[in-house]
Structure formats: C-alpha cells, structure tokens
Amino acid sequence: MGNRKRKSISQEEIARIAGVSRTTVSFVLNNTRGKSISEETRQRVIVAAKEFGYMPDMSAVETATSRDGSICLIVCHSESAFSDAYIMRLIEGMSRPIHKERYDLRVLHFRVSRHDYLETARKGSFDGAILLNTHADDPGIAELEASNLPFVIIGALPDKGLIQIDIDNSEAAAGVARYLLSLGHRNIGVIAHAPETFFAVRARLAGFCGEMRRNGVEMCDSNIRFANFTEESGYEAARDLLSSKQPLTAIFGTNDVVAYGIMRAVEDAGLAIPDDISVVGFDDDYLSLYTNPPLTTVTLPAEGIGRTAAETLLRLIRGAPVHRGLRLLPTNLTIRQSCRKV
C-alpha cells in the first residue's frame, strides 16, 4: 500500500471522506486556534489527508488563515432589522454561545429581493451563517447548499434536508382561532405581517383559517390584508379593513409590531379595545405587556430560538454531528386584556 501512487485531492474531498465540513478540514489542516474540535474528529481528518496524499493549495491556505472568526446573521426584512423587537431577542439568544466560542456576530440586513448569501459570506470571510426570514423558492439557499459553508435557517421551508429551527406557526395560529371562537367571535379580520412569499405568513394564515373552517366559519379573502413588517403598514392595512364596513368583532395581527399598528387604527376610528373590537398579536415582544390595553399574543421563545440556532451552527463548524431537518420549539397563548366575549 505504501508504494501505491497517490493523487492529491482537495479539502472538499477530505471533508467527504472524513464526514465533516470543509471548514473543519481547513481548521484542522491549518491548525487554526480557538476552535473546539474534538481529538477524534481532528485525527479522522489528519488520517484522511495523509492516506490520500493531500497537498495544500497555498491560495486556499491563505484564505483559510485570513478568516476572522465571525458568524453572520442575514436578515431579509423590508425595513431596519433593528426596529423589530423579535429580531433583537433572537440576537440576544445567539450572542452568548457565539461569544463563548470567541466568534463575532455580525448582522447583515438584506432586502427581500436579495439572494447573494454565499457571495456575501465569502467576501466577509465568515465561518458560518444564520438566515432569518428566508422564503420559498429562494435561489440563494440552493447556492448555499451546494457550497461547504455551514448554515442554519431560522424558519421552516419545504426542503426537509435543511437544518431549520422554528416554531409550529400553523398550530400556534390555530390556537388563536380557537381562543377567539371560544369567546364567541365569528367575524374576524386577519392582517398578515408580511407578504405571502414568506413561509411563516402562509403557515400562520393556513393554521388560523383552517381552524376557523373546521369550526364552520369560512374566512373570506375580503377579511384578510397584508402588511410589510412595520407598525405603519399594520396601521394602513387595519384602516383599509375597518373602512370596508364589515361587522368585525376581532382582528388578528400575525406579529406584535403589526398588531400595534392595528390598535392605533382602531383607536383612530373611534373604537375601543376590547369593547368594540378584540385584538390579538403574535410574538409577545417587549412592548406587548405595556400597550393599552395589554395585548393578548402568542408567546414564542425568541431567545431560545436564537440560542438553539447558534449552538447548532457552532456544532456544524466544529464538525460535530447535527440532526438535519426541522426542530420545533414550543409556544403558548398569553391572555391579557385586549379581547372580550361577544
């Protein structure tokens, strides 16, 4: 065997043979400091490299040693990501495990139509990426899959092979429908927090409308409006819905920021919450407890989602085994004073 002629192979091939990511191979072969790679994984990479006569590409070595130990959070959002309390709570959850491993976390704001995740990550020499607010048929995700850059998605997409951390959006929204139905509401408006392009929006609408339908109430398209992540867009959508003169007794905003806009529109229309119209949100962000009246909303573990996404990505970077697929974290409905029986 020692006389067999060996052909030099790439780090990608070593990664495949050793069953680790290309990033892990690079860390091992370049003896990169500050990376928590197990000795068993390290030896597996070294044995594979020696066995197949790996000869490093010096330009690749230069690229690997120029990495600055950073992870990017890419947020697809119509406005500033920092105006969204849910995103800030996600970042809080990510920060502790990422900084514990001595990585920096950098937040990048992408407009919805932008998909160049891989190019951005490579230009920034990032070790891995966390994607938020991705949407179905996103070409940037397929490009990431074809690369060796470790990445995790916060959200749920149809591709079950992707590593995804999320909540059960459909069931959580169905819980809102059950609650409003239990209070006697039948004429309910829904204002989605974003366009239907986003998987979470589709899931929440499907869960809510499906539960209404199972209870004999058909949701009309005329009762549904779409906002664009912001309080202002929720306000305008609610004004439009209220001006339609439909006899609504409740409005469900599929995130809290949009629900704040709904509450303001109801007030500006000369109506009272909950006496005239009940309002429900989704997220339970910082301000929901302090609205007037305090907002009934779906509580989701934003910090836990962020922490789980970061810990999963760090395991990928280290070359540790990671379950591929969708991991769901629990939610609950927090009942406050913005709803009443009819």
Q: How far is CA 152 from CA 26, 40, 74, 196, 287, in A?
A: 20, 24, 11, 22, 28
> Is a pLDDT exceeding 50 seen at residue 67?
no
Which residue ranges form the domains of the chain, and what is each CATH number?
Answer: 11-65 (1.10.260), 70-167+302-329 (3.40.50.2300), 169-301 (3.40.50.2300)
| Of residues 305, 295, 330, 260, the one with CA closest to residue 133 | 305
Q: How far is CA 293 from the centre of its chain?
A: 29
| Of residues 22, 15, 130, 26, the one with CA closest to residue 72 | 130
pLDDT digits (tens, 9 = 90+) for 262-319: 999 999 999 999 999 999 999 999 899 999 999 999 999 999 999 999 999 999 998 8
User: Residue 115, SS3?
Assistant: coil
User: Residue 130, SS3?
Assistant: strand
More confident residue, 190 or 133: 190
Q: For 144-175, give one letter per residue: b (16+ CB within 10 A) or e.
A: beeebbbbbbbbbbeeeebbbbbbbbbebbbb
Q: Looking at residues 158-162, what average pLDDT do you find?
A: 79
Are 24 and 15 in contact, with CB atoms under 8 Å apart? yes
Q: Looking at residues 15-43, what average pLDDT do you find?
A: 79
Instruction: Kindly provide the residue ranges of all beta strands, DSSP E only, lying in 77-206, ordered along the sequence.
Output: 104-110, 128-132, 151-154, 163-167, 188-192
C-alpha–C-alpha distance, residues 168 and 89, integer Å: 18
Pairing of strands 250-253, 104-110: unpaired
C-alpha–C-alpha distance, residues 103 and 223, integer Å: 46
Across 148-162, 246-260, 317-331, least confident range:
148-162
Structure tokens at 254: 């599929």
Which of 41-50, 100-109, 256-265 has the highest average model confidence (pLDDT)? 256-265
| Of residues 76, 118, 72, 120, the one with CA closest to residue 98 | 72
> Is a pLDDT exceeding 70 seen at residue 81?
no
Structure tokens at 175: 């819980």
Q: How confident is the model at residue 1 (pLDDT cuts 50, 70, 90)?
A: very low
pLDDT digits (tens, 9 = 90+) for 227-274: 998 999 999 999 999 998 788 999 999 999 999 999 999 999 999 999
Structure tokens at 65: 């040693």
Pairing of strands 70-76, 224-226: unpaired
C-alpha–C-alpha distance, residues 194 and 177, integer Å: 19
| Of residues 218, 210, 215, the one with CA closest to residue 174 | 210
pTM of the model as a whole? 0.77
Tokens 């976390």 belong to: 105
